[in-house]
């Protein structure tokens, strides 16, 4: 019965947005975007608490949220870790052990609406705005982002090229907003009227249309050194996303894995990340 409910719920939302668009396209777009930006998971689980509580540091107040930060102090360069959708800072546990051994100064966060941070919504423009505040405060040398966190790190660097960032590592990150929205439409089965209304909403709210938001296109202007790690069989974000970004990002290296999945927690990946951060 629970499986049936889970299968029918997205369709119910899609039908609702279709009906609402008949009366108000703007309202349908706002409701659809709000749902799109509302995570269902990401809370700190019981087995994650002890690890994160030991590193809890300050709360950073941004224009959108109160961001919980975690610090593992080191004497070398500062690394900022940005997790992905429906996750939290604990996802970095394995990598943090590698970074600690190399004496990097580590800062991880819970994104808005995740972990111990405040808020109910998360999307890339919001995440980017929070990242701007964090980078201005901590002046990190390196950003490592997973999935949506990687997308955010790259978008931030495109928007704000003059900052402290010297290198960016992107793990399993999407590239095209159009692909993400197509998946969202297919999942909920809302009609093209709703999608067109969402396109207008993005333009009015953020200043770009769905087709215009493309990390691969933005990467053409990146000069920061980059490492892209992506699994060939990633079922969440297609490997082609990394290929397109790498093609346009002149100063990037693409590491293709096979069978490691979307999370990319494995030691082999962490070794490559450390080697990249230590390289000239």
225, part of any domain: yes
116, part of any domain: yes
Q: What is the pLDDT of residue 63?
A: 87
31, part of any domain: no
Q: What is the pLDDT of residue 4?
A: 55
Query: For every one of its 280 residues, what pLDDT tens digit does the chain have, with 9 covering 90 and above?
Result: 455 556 679 999 999 999 999 999 999 999 999 999 999 999 999 999 999 999 999 999 998 899 999 999 999 999 999 999 999 999 999 999 999 999 999 999 999 999 999 999 999 999 999 999 999 999 999 999 999 999 999 999 999 999 999 999 999 999 999 999 999 999 999 999 999 999 999 999 999 999 999 999 999 999 999 999 999 999 999 999 999 999 999 999 999 999 999 999 999 999 999 999 999 8
Spatial distance between the Cα atoms of 273 and 72, rounded to a whole number of angstroms: 18
Q: What are the tokens at 129?
A: 């705005």
Q: What is the pLDDT of residue 2?
A: 54
138, part of any domain: yes
13, part of any domain: no
Q: Is the CB of residue 237 less than 8 Å from the CB of residue 154? A: no
Spatial distance between the Cα atoms of 269 and 215, rounded to a whole number of angstroms: 22
Quote the crossing angle between the two packed helices 2-23 and 192-206, to the nearest 10°: 70
If one counts every other C-beta atom within 10 angstroms of the C-beta of residue 110, the result is 26
Q: What is the pLDDT of residue 3?
A: 58
Separation in Å, CA 24 to CA 16, 19, 206? 12, 9, 20
181, part of any domain: no
Q: What is the pLDDT of residue 46?
A: 97
Q: What is the pLDDT of residue 280?
A: 85
Q: Could you give the number of structural domains in the chain? A: 1
The dihedral through the CA atoms of 172, 173, 175, 178 has a sign that is: positive
Quote the crossing angle between the two packed helices 177-188 and 2-23, to the nearest 10°: 110
134, part of any domain: yes
CATH code: domain of residue 270: 3.40.50.1820
Q: What is the pLDDT of residue 1?
A: 43
Spatial distance between the Cα atoms of 251 and 238, rounded to a whole number of angstroms: 21
Provide the whole-model pTM.
Answer: 0.96
Separation in Å, CA 122 to CA 95, 256, 272, 280? 24, 28, 29, 35
182, part of any domain: no
Domain residue limits at 97: 37-176+214-278
């Amino acid at each position: 019965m629970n499986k049936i409910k889970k299968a029918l719920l997205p369709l119910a939302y899609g039908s609702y947005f279709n009906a609402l668009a008949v009366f108000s396209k703007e309202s349908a777009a706002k409701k659809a975007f709000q749902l799109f930006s509302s995570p269902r998971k990401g809370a700190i689980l019981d087995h994650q608490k002890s690890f994160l509580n030991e590193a809890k540091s300050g709360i950073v107040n941004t224009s959108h949220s109160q961001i919980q930060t975690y610090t593992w102090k080191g004497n070398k360069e500062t690394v900022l870790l940005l997790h992905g959708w429906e996750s939290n800072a604990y996802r970095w546990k394995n990598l943090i052990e590698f970074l600690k051994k190399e004496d990097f100064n580590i800062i991880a966060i819970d994104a808005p609406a995740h972990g111990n941070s405040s808020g109910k919504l998360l999307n890339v423009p919001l995440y980017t705005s929070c990242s701007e505040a964090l980078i201005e405060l901590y002046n990190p040398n390196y950003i490592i982002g997973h999935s949506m966190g990687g997308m955010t790190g790259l978008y931030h660097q495109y928007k704000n090229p003059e900052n402290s960032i010297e290198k960016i590592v992107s793990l399993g990150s999407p590239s095209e907003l159009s692909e993400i929205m197509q998946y969202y439409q297919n999942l909920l089965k809302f009609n093209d009227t709703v999608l067109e209304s969402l396109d207008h909403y993005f333009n009015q709210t953020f200043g770009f249309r769905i087709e215009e938001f493309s990390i691969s296109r933005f990467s053409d202007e990146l000069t920061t050194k980059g490492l892209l790690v992506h699994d060939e069989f990633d079922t969440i974000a297609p490997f082609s996303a990394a290929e397109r970004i790498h093609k346009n990002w002149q100063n990037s290296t693409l590491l293709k894995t096979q069978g490691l999945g979307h999370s990319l927690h494995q030691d082999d990946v962490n070794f490559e990340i450390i080697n990249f951060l230590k390289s000239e």
